[in-house]
Amino acid sequence: MRLLTFWLAHRSELAAMTGRHLFLVAVSTLVAVAIGLPAGIVAAHRPRLGRPLLAVANIAQTVPSLALLGFLLPIPFIGGIGPRIAIVALVLYGLLPIVRSTAAGLASIDPAVMEAGVAMGMTPRQLLWLVELPIALPSIVAGVRIATIVGIGTATIAAAVGAGGLGEYIFRGLSMVDSTVILAGAIPAAVLALVADGLLTWLERRLSPGRHPAARATTIAAGVALAAALVGIAAGATASRTPGIVIGSKNFTEQVILGELMAQTLERQGIAVTRRLNLGGTIICDQAIRSGDIDAYVEYTGTALTAILRRPVIKDSERVLATVRDLYGTSGLSVLDPLGFNNTFAVIVRRSDADALGLGAIGDLRKTEAGWRPGFGYEFVERPDGYRGLSAAYGLHFSVEPRVMDLDLIYRALAARQVDVIAGDATSGLITALDLTMLRDDRRYFPPYDAVPIVRSAVVLAHPEVKRAFARLAGRISEADMRAMNSAVDVDHRDVAVTVREFLSR
Amino acid sequence: MTDRRAAEPADVIEFIHVRFARGPHVVLDDVRLSIARGEAIALVGRSGAGKSTFLKLINCLLLPDSGVVRVEGRDTRDWDPIELRRQAGYVLQEVGLFPHLTVEGNVSLVPRLAGWSEPRRRERSRELLDLVGLPPREFAARWPRELSGGQRQRVGVARALAVDPPILLMDEPFGALDPMTRLELRAEFQRIRRHLRQTVVIVTHDIAEAFALGDRVGVLDNGRLIACDTPRAIEAASDPRVRQFFSAFPPGLARG
């Protein structure tokens, strides 16, 4: 029921995302066929070439999709966020089934049929077009069917690189820990896959030997026309997006809220905006703004200093801001004034444990160490101002290796007693909602993480109104405000746009 | 037609000291044979005696290691293989009908490659289906998988004859059929032969078949052609190797 309400409320967005999804899959499948079909023919005719070819396709298939996007991201031309990189990744995934089924379809042709063809004086080309491909056609279509279905599933990952599609709901839902939103994207994707499966199975059957050549030709023409129409419709739906100022965000609730906040702030001043929210981690957002794929997003000064600029930790927030602003300025990025809250890392435990064991500060954890299971997000484990620095500063040694998990799930894991201590965000709405408590950083280990809008300097120069609009946000959002908005979205499952609108209208 | 043929060499196919080996295994050795126009030669031999290789040397699917194979007086090495194969219809044991084409589509494929017009192709395929005993009205639109083994082989013969090639090569054409169908098709082929001018080379391991179909019967043994003569002369041969070959067949029975 909630799902239906959600779809109704978001129907135009749902249609756009579905169109976008189809566009990504249709384009990538067509490209995969254009590459995979000849490759499959080569693989079947020249096994010596074919074996390494299949091996390459196999390897591409086994790389996890997010990792593949990570590899592709820095590559010039195909890299950068947006649909292009998603399509390249989807093509790589689609290749294997197509190459393999083409090769298998050709290899399974009765040798007597081939011998008859050769002996009756067919040139290799005639043999290929008049005998081999028609006979292998059902097998080839089966490969295209598998590639399409895999593509529909994998295309949900495209949202991580700002290519849109139904994956946006899934990522949004994951970051909100709201299964309704996840299902809002997952169910249409599954329906698409089933429809595609049905259509292509029908096509496969129509193309199997025993149908009249004319009927087969019509079927192929119909299939190609349908695919072209899909690309056309979807491309039209995509092209109708207005460019304007492109706002990005990382892939957790607070970031999405802040992205929406920036977007609505501009829109209130009549400035056109494109949202590229939920882009994945810090590095993806940073690359996106440096390459001009997005124009602005909210970063945290401490993150910028240590994770992006790779500078040593500074504890003074003024000095952090000044340093970051200087260094960003040299690479064409403007750091605007802080929004007001400091989203520092927070070491969080269950309130019941804190009360029972008398935990008030991080240092108190030394009392509990043996058997306590820490759980951290990916970034926290890697960053110099993360786990390593923390254990050094406080002399903490957990006997159990930290569980590494998604930042969004980590609070629930703590509440569910799967882990005992986590590093999270000081502004997380879940801290109060799940009855958790934050330990004091009495040694001032964590550097300040003041939220600041980062805007491309070119945009600031060309559109001074953008900077003026953002200036209205300076100092306006306290930790309590941020925690309340996070809680509204994460805990009460309120709509991000509505939550932001209410905040701005206060 | 007679005039044109008169200008051509009398021997359509010549094997001159032909040797063919697959690695260390000698498949054919010092094979000498001339086949006259319009003649039907039946080659017998055990499996592995080199029978199929013999055929493939004629339509250039294989080239000899030494010696010369001449077709229409020209070394097969000098022929354009595609052109040569269009001169030689090929019928093989497994038939190899194209599963994605109807009976008519199979028969008219070579004419299509040769650029015949649609009506001419249609007429020719109907004529051939009639010839091989498959009424076109009933069979033209059928798919290969809807046919019995014997019917398939009839289509295979029709397909090989489609552009009326001067040579017809048959590799164990009736080998995969049950004995009744086999006898029936053999009789049928003898009938068809009366309507054809083709030079026919047929290889078989069935001595009765060879005697029934060949104007001359050649005996291949261990890669060598140890005899080639009329069935009557072969039966009367004194060569112990030939005698041994036929020892299992009481005289007369071989006549089928």
- Of the pLDDT bands very low, low, confident and very high (cuts 50, 70, 90), residue B249 is low
Confidence of residue B5 (pLDDT cuts 50, 70, 90): very low
The predicted pLDDT at position A11 comes to: 80
Q: Answer yes or no: do A277 and A206 share one domain.
A: no
Helices H, strands E: what count in chain A?
A: 24, 10
Among A418, A439, A460, residue at a domain's last position: A439
pLDDT in the model for residue A287: 82
Q: What is the ipTM for the molecules in this complex?
A: 0.88
Is residue A444, in this structure, part of any structural domain at all? no
* Inter-chain CB proximity A121 and B113 less than 8 Å: yes
B163 interface with A at CB cutoff 8 Å: no
> Do residues A226 and A276 both lie within one domain?
no
- Answer whether residue A27 is part of any domain: yes
Are A224 and A114 part of one and the same domain?
yes
3-state secondary structure string, B76-121? CCCCCHHHHHHCEEEEECCCCCCCCCCHHHHHCHHHHHCCCCHHHH
Find which of A108, A109, A120 to mutate to test the B interface (most B CBs within 10 Å of its CB): A120
pLDDT interval class at B256 (50, 70, 90): very low
Residue A90 lies in a domain: yes
Residue A298, domain member (yes or no) = yes
Residue at A445 is within a domain: no
Q: Is A370 on the interface with B (CB under 8 A)?
A: no
Residue A323 and residue A359 share a domain: no
pLDDT value of position A6? 81
**Domain stops at, among A190, A209, A239:** A239
Give yes or no: residues A225 and A315 share one domain. no
**In three state form, how does the secondary structure of A436-505 look?**
EEEEECCCCCCCCCEEEEEEEHHHHHHCHHHHHHHHCCCCCCCHHHHHHHHHHHHCCCCCHHHHHHHHHC
Angle (CA) B203 B205 B209, round 5° = 75
pLDDT mean for each 10 residues of chain A (506 residues): 81 85 91 93 88 81 78 72 83 90 92 92 92 92 91 86 82 72 88 90 78 67 73 56 80 90 93 86 83 89 88 88 92 92 89 88 80 83 79 83 80 88 86 87 86 93 90 90 88 88 90
Q: Which residues of chain B are within 8 Å of residue A110 when distances are taken between CB atoms?
A: 94, 96, 99
Of B71, B93, B94, B98, which to mutate for an interface test with A (greatest number of A Cβ within 10 Å)?
B98
Interfacial A residues in 260-319 facing B (CB < 8 Å): none
- When mean pLDDT is compared across A237-241, B18-22, B66-70, B196-200, the lowest value belongs to A237-241
> Domain limits at A121?
2-239
Q: Residues B213-223: what's their mean pLDDT?
A: 91
Query: Domain ends where: A218, A239, A260?
Result: A239
Residue A107 lies in a domain: yes
Query: A494 and A352: one domain?
Result: no
Q: A293 and A186: one domain? A: no
Q: Give chain A positions within 8 Å (CB) of B145.
A: 209-210
| A370 & A297 share domain | no
- The answer to whether B165 and B131 have CB atoms below 8 angstroms apart is no
Q: Do B143 and A210 touch (CB under 8 A)?
A: yes
In a domain, A416, yes or no: yes
Average pLDDT of the segment spanning B53-82: 94
Closest-CA residue of A relative to B161 is: A120
Give DSSP secondary structure letters for B26-85.
EEEEEEEEEEETT-EEEEE--TTSSHHHHHHHHTTSS--SEEEEEETTEETTTS-HHHHH
Q: CATH number for the domain including A85?
A: 1.10.3720.10
Taking contacts as CB-CB distances below 8 angstroms, the residues of chain B near A137 are 100
Check whether residue A493 and residue A375 sit in a common domain: no
The total number of structural domains that make up chain A: 3
pLDDT value for A55: 84
Nearest beta carbon to residue B94 from set A112, A117, A130:
A112
